[in-house]
């Protein structure tokens, strides 16, 4: 009994450790299919820190249905992103999801605790997804993203959505993906991606190659911020007055820090704090009114204000690149190349807003904004975004 309990508790942690190790050693293979630093960050830190957050979908007197942020929302958003990123064939995706959904429906049951499955049957969706991925993309790294998509969407449709009529046949309070990183939705995706990885062609990059690629990227990004054209070598000569080849690994961090400090458009920390206070002043009455009008169970009183913040910043930054507070101080969210940030970047930086809330109520965020060369908080570092001052 103790061994079984320990294995249950440790299993998601083992999967997270495996994914992190694989992506660290074979990062080029993962990046090729759109599973880079921000996506790994979402799957590991994002899902782990938000597994207790539930986004309400349906609320009435005797019924409460939500979407767990870490266990369902993040995997779902990531799945749709990977479909678009890899241009997966719609028919192949549809057929595979249908097969996995049917299999998941047959091995899941509605109990007083919600939708459950039992050992070893809960491994079937992951195994099926991996087999289908390797059938369609044998040896190709695309099989990793395909298996993750099929496993995640298959379990959500077959395990949660298909059982909704049974669930709502009596008063119910729960959430899809409610167990967070211990939920079948999250675990199916993680198992499938780790399993499929073992059978695809891998590209291992040496430490020196990885360092040089990171260096090129940082130099090019700084050049774009300062509107300096040319390749990364010419950019570095213009900024630092020296050749890139002359930099040792020991000098790299110091020089990059100095180079980024020369970029003058990164937003001032004081302005960012003031902009946040303006945005919070807008949100505060909305949060109070919502809590007063809606009959939430107690844990929602704690999580709902954080979710409202997340949705507010996600909505305005993804549509307009700024919020009301940032716009008042002439600031916008951009990617590190001073271009419009895509939806996944905005989603990631705002998921990590939830993470940062629990890290001493944004205190660490303020510290990072002050001390980091690009004025980035933790979410910005993961998402590769920056807040810049713009002239109107």
Split the chain (392 residues) into runs of 10 and give each run's mean pLDDT.
66 94 92 94 93 83 84 96 95 97 94 82 95 95 97 96 87 84 94 96 82 84 83 78 71 79 89 94 83 57 79 95 96 94 96 87 89 93 95 69
Both tokens of 299, joined, read: 């844990």
Rounded-to-integer distance, Cα 382 and Cα 247, Å: 26
Q: 252 and 278 share a domain?
A: no
pLDDT value for 83: 96
How many domains is the chain built from? 3
The answer to whether residue 210 sits within a structural domain is no
Q: 368 and 235 share a domain?
A: no
- Of 167, 197, 227, the one marking the end of a domain is 197
SS3 384: coil
The answer to whether residue 25 sits within a structural domain is yes
Q: 308 and 239 share a domain?
A: no
The answer to whether residue 333 sits within a structural domain is yes
Rounded-to-integer distance, Cα 354 and Cα 345, Å: 15
Rounded-to-integer distance, Cα 96 and Cα 100, Å: 6
Q: 154 and 237 share a domain?
A: no
Rounded-to-integer distance, Cα 310 and Cα 223, Å: 32
- CA 306 centroid distance within chain: 17
pLDDT value for 302: 63
Q: 28 and 84 share a domain?
A: yes
The answer to whether residue 350 sits within a structural domain is yes
pLDDT value for 235: 80
Phi (first) and psi of residue 163, to 5 degrees:
-95, 0
Q: Which whole-number Å values give the CA distances from 347 to 73, 172, 321, in the listed order?
A: 11, 30, 12
The answer to whether residue 208 sits within a structural domain is no
Sign of the torsion angle spanned by Cα atoms 257, 261, 262, 266: positive
The boundaries of the domain holding residue 348 are: 269-389
The answer to whether residue 204 sits within a structural domain is no
């Amino acid at each position: 009994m103790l061994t079984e309990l320990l294995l249950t508790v440790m299993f998601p942690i083992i999967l997270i450790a495996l994914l992190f190790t694989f992506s660290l050693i074979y990062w080029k293979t993962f990046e090729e299919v759109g599973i880079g630093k921000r996506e790994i960050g979402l799957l590991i830190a994002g899902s782990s820190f938000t597994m207790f957050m539930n986004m309400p979908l349906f609320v009435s007197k005797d019924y409460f249905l939500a979407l767990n942020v870490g266990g369902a929302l993040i995997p779902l958003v990531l799945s749709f992103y990977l479909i678009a990123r890899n241009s997966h064939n719609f028919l192949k995706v549809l057929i595979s999801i249908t097969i996995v959904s049917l299999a998941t429906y047959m091995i899941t049951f509605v109990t007083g605790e919600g939708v459950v499955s039992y050992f070893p049957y809960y491994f079937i969706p992951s195994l099926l997804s991996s087999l289908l991925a390797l059938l369609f993309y044998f040896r190709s790294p695309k099989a990793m993203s395909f298996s993750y998509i099929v496993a995640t969407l298959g379990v959500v449709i077959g395990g949660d959505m298909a059982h909704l009529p049974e669930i709502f046949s009596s008063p119910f309070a729960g959430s899809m993906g409610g167990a967070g990183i211990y939920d079948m939705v999250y675990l199916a995706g993680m198992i499938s991606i780790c399993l499929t990885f073992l059978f695809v062609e891998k590209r291992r990059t040496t430490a020196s190659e990885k360092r040089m690629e990171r260096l090129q990227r940082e130099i090019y990004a700084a050049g774009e911020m300062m509107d300096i054209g040319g390749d990364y070598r010419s950019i570095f000569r213009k900024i630092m007055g020296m050749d890139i080849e002359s930099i040792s690994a020991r000098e790299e961090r110091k020089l990059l820090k100095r180079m980024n400090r020369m970029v003058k458009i990164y937003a001032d920390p004081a302005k960012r704090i003031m902009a946040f206070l303006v945005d919070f002043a807008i949100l505060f009455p909305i949060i109070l009114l919502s809590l007063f009008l809606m009959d939430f169970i107690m844990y929602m009183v704690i999580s709902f204000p954080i979710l409202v913040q997340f949705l507010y910043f996600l909505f305005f930054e993804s549509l307009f690149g700024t919020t009301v507070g940032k716009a008042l101080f002439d600031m916008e969210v951009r990617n590190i190349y001073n271009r419009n940030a895509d939806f996944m970047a905005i989603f990631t930086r705002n998921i990590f807003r939830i993470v940062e809330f629990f890290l001493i109520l944004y205190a660490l965020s303020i510290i990072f904004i002050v001390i980091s060369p690009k004025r980035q908080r933790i979410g910005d570092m993961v998402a590769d975004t920056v807040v810049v001052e713009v002239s109107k």
